[in-house]
Chains A and B, each alone.
Chain A
Amino acid sequence: AQKVTQAQTEISVVEKEDVTLDCVYETRDTTYYLFWYKQPPSGELVFLIRRNSFDEQNEISGRYSWNFQKSTSSFNFTITASQVVDSAVYFCALSERYSGGGADGLTFGKGTHLIIQP
């Protein structure tokens, strides 16, 4: 069964600090996708990134970067020079190419509440 662990329940940093959100996943499939979503206080889910299991290249998008390491089953998310607007709950999620039965769709971690203090 697939599983996503976000061990950090809450992180609080001061603005302009760098912060890394950890995500560790478990899957028996060789083909899968990993995602990060942002949930601001308004509640909607904002898609940030998708990465497939065959693409281990790290990605950078402005102040955001993602480090995917299959060897450690991790897909960590770093925000550089954090800003107050980055305050949100961040979810890591996993989807296998074909689930073996039971629930279908995305398996989410429990989320990390990131607080950026001014």
Chain B
Amino acid sequence: EAQVTQNPRYLITVTGKKLTVTCSQNMNHEYMSWYRQDPGLGLRQIYYSMNVEVTDKGDVPEGYKVSRKEKRNFPLILESPSPNQTSLYFCASSLNRDTISYEQYFGPGTRLTVT
């Protein structure tokens, strides 16, 4: 089954404790991205990757890191989480740059709480 998976689905952590949210897709997609969703703000893009070893900032990259060492994985790293990073996070993928505009597959979301 074609899918985007995220782990963990729920996470409660404390300020400053490094964490990684994993994202994996099994569709051989080149393009992957991360969004965060906050009440009243909709979804905003954090980072995206056009292909292996190619990443770029989205609208709200501060406080986040990403890496793309393999095509299927695109982990989101919070080196020193803060309470304002409490949010619902979505990973998404698309076949390539040409298909970004009309077809993106979303993961199930990761609900992160930073206390």
Q: B-contacting residues of A (Cβ < 8 Å)? A: 4, 6, 9, 32-33, 43-45, 47, 50, 52, 91, 93, 95-98, 102-106, 108-111
Q: B43 and A108: CB pair below 8 A?
A: yes
Bound Cα distance from A86 to B100, whole angstroms: 28
Residues of B within 8 A of A109 (CB): 42
In angstroms, Cα B88 to Cα A110, docked, is: 14
* Residue in contact with A45 in the complex, picked from B56, B109, B111, CB distance below 8 Å: B109
Query: Contact at A104–B109, with CB atoms within 8 Å?
Result: no
Tell me whether A110 and B41 are in contact in the complex, defined as CB-CB below 8 angstroms, given that A44-B109, A50-B102, A104-B58 are known contacts: yes
Q: Choose one: B42, B56, B103, B106; the contact of A104 (CB below 8 Å).
A: B56
B45 contacts chain A at the CB level, 8 A cutoff: yes
14 sample A-B contacts, Cβ–Cβ < 8 Å, listed by A number: A4-B42, A9-B40, A33-B101, A43-B88, A45-B109, A50-B103, A91-B42, A91-B43, A104-B33, A104-B48, A104-B56, A105-B33, A108-B35, A110-B40
Q: If A33-B101, A111-B42 touch, does A105 touch B92 (CB 8 Å cutoff)? A: yes
How many chain B residues sit at the interface, stated as a range, is 20 to 34
- Chain A residues whose CB sits within 8 angstroms of the CB of B100 once the complex forms: 95, 104-105
- B residues sitting closer than 8 Å to A (CB atoms) are 33, 35, 40-45, 48, 56-59, 88, 90, 92, 100-104, 106, 108-109, 111
Q: How far is the CB of A49 from chain B (nearest CB, A)?
A: 12
List of A residues within 8 angstroms of B33 by Cβ: 104-105
Residue of B nearest to A110 (CB): B42
A39's nearest neighbour on chain B, judged by CB, is B37
In the assembled complex, the Cα of A95 lies from the Cα of B102 at a distance in Å of: 7
B57 to chain A minimum Cβ distance, whole angstroms, is 8
By a CB distance below 8 angstroms, the chain B residues around A4 are 42
